[in-house]
Amino acid sequence: MKDLSVGELFGVEGKTVLVTGGARGIGLMIAAGFVANGARVYIASRSKDACEAAAKKLTAEGPGTCVALSEDLSTEAGCVNLAKMFRAREDRLHVLVNNSGTSWGAPLEKHSEKGWDKVYALNVKGIFFLTRELLPALDAGSTTTDPARVINIGSIAGERPQVFPTYSYDASKAAVHHITRKLADELADRRQKGGHAITVNAIAPGYVPSAMSDGLAMYKESEEIAKSGIPLRRKGAPQDMAGAALFLSSNAGAWITGTTVRVDGGFLAKL
C-alpha cells in the first residue's frame, strides 16, 4: 500500500509551480504556501517591481524559492511570451495556477464595453492562451501516478450573482468555471501528446481580503456580508487559499479533475 503519511499525501516539495498574479492578493497567498512547502515557484505580474519584491521576500522566507517574471496576460502575445520566458528557464511544469484577474463595477445603464473587454481579456482569454502555451511543459511534468495540474481561480460570483453591479466580472468567473470543466475533459489523456495526464480544477474563493475585494467597500452591502453573511463568521485567510491549492496539487488531489472547490466559509450554502 502506498505511504499514507501526511508528507506523502500532501507534500509538494520539489515541484515547479507558476502562479500568475502572484505578487499580491490571493496569488501571493498561494505562492507563499508553495514556497513554504519546498516548491520552486515562479510568479508573474504586469508590475515588474512588485513581482521582484514579492519573489525576494518569499525566497528569503523559504525553504522553497521564488522567481519573478513580468508580463501582461490580457493578450495572446503576452501569454505566448510568458510561456517562452518560463520554458527558457525550466523544461517542465508541475502546477500552473491561473490567478491573474481584474474586476469592473458599474450600474447597468452605464456599464461600458471597455468593462467587458478588459475583464474577459484577462479573466478568461488569459487562462485559455497561457494554458495552451504551457501544455508541452505540463506534459513534461506529468507522470502516470502524478499528473500535472492546472488550477484556475474563479469566484463564488461565478456560482451565484453578486449583489454588486459587477456584471462582466460575475459572468467572466462563470466562464472560468465552465472552461475548467471543458479543459479537464480535453486534457485528461495526454498519451498521444507525449505526456500522461493534466488535471484541471478551479477554486472559487469567497470574501478574502485583497485589493480586489477592497474595491467593494463602496457598496453598503459589502459590510453586511463581511459581518453576518458568512456562516463560519470570518473572512478568508491566506492559509485557506494556500491550503486548497496545495491539496489540489498534491498526491491527495491526483484523482480530482473538472471540479470547482468553493472556499467561502459556507457563504453559498447559506439559506
Question: What total of structural domains would you count in the chain?
Answer: 1
Residue 209 has a pLDDT of 83
Q: Is residue 52 part of a domain?
A: yes
Q: Is residue 268 part of a domain?
A: no
CA angle 267, 270, 271 (to 5 degrees): 155
CATH of the domain at 125: 3.40.50.720
The C-alpha cell at 252 is 491527495
Residue 1 has a pLDDT of 56
d(CA 121, CA 241): 24
Enclosing domain of residue 112? 2-263
List Cα–Cα distances, 162 to 167, 169, 176, 192, in angstroms.
9, 10, 16, 42
Residue 128 has a pLDDT of 98
Q: Is residue 271 part of a domain?
A: no
Q: Is residue 270 part of a domain?
A: no
Cα-based torsion angle of the residue sequence 82, 241, 104, 102 in order, rounded to the nearest 10 degrees? -10
Containing 98, the helix (H) or strand (E) segment is strand 95-98
Contact indicator for 150, 138 with CB cutoff of 8 Å: yes
Residues marked as catalytic: 169
Residue 155 has a pLDDT of 97
Q: Is residue 96 part of a domain?
A: yes
Per-residue confidence of the chain (271 residues) as pLDDT tens digits? 568 999 999 999 999 999 999 999 999 999 999 999 999 999 999 999 999 999 999 999 999 999 999 999 999 999 999 999 999 999 999 999 999 999 888 888 888 999 899 999 999 999 999 999 999 999 999 999 999 999 999 999 999 988 888 999 999 999 999 999 999 999 999 999 999 999 999 999 999 986 655 555 554 555 556 656 899 988 999 999 999 999 999 999 999 999 999 999 999 998 7
- β-partners of residue 40 are 16, 65
Q: Is residue 50 part of a domain?
A: yes
Q: Is residue 215 part of a domain?
A: yes
Residue 159 has a pLDDT of 95
Q: Is residue 49 part of a domain?
A: yes
- Please count the CA atoms within 13 angstroms of the CA of 188 that sit on its side-chain side: 12
d(CA 155, CA 152): 10
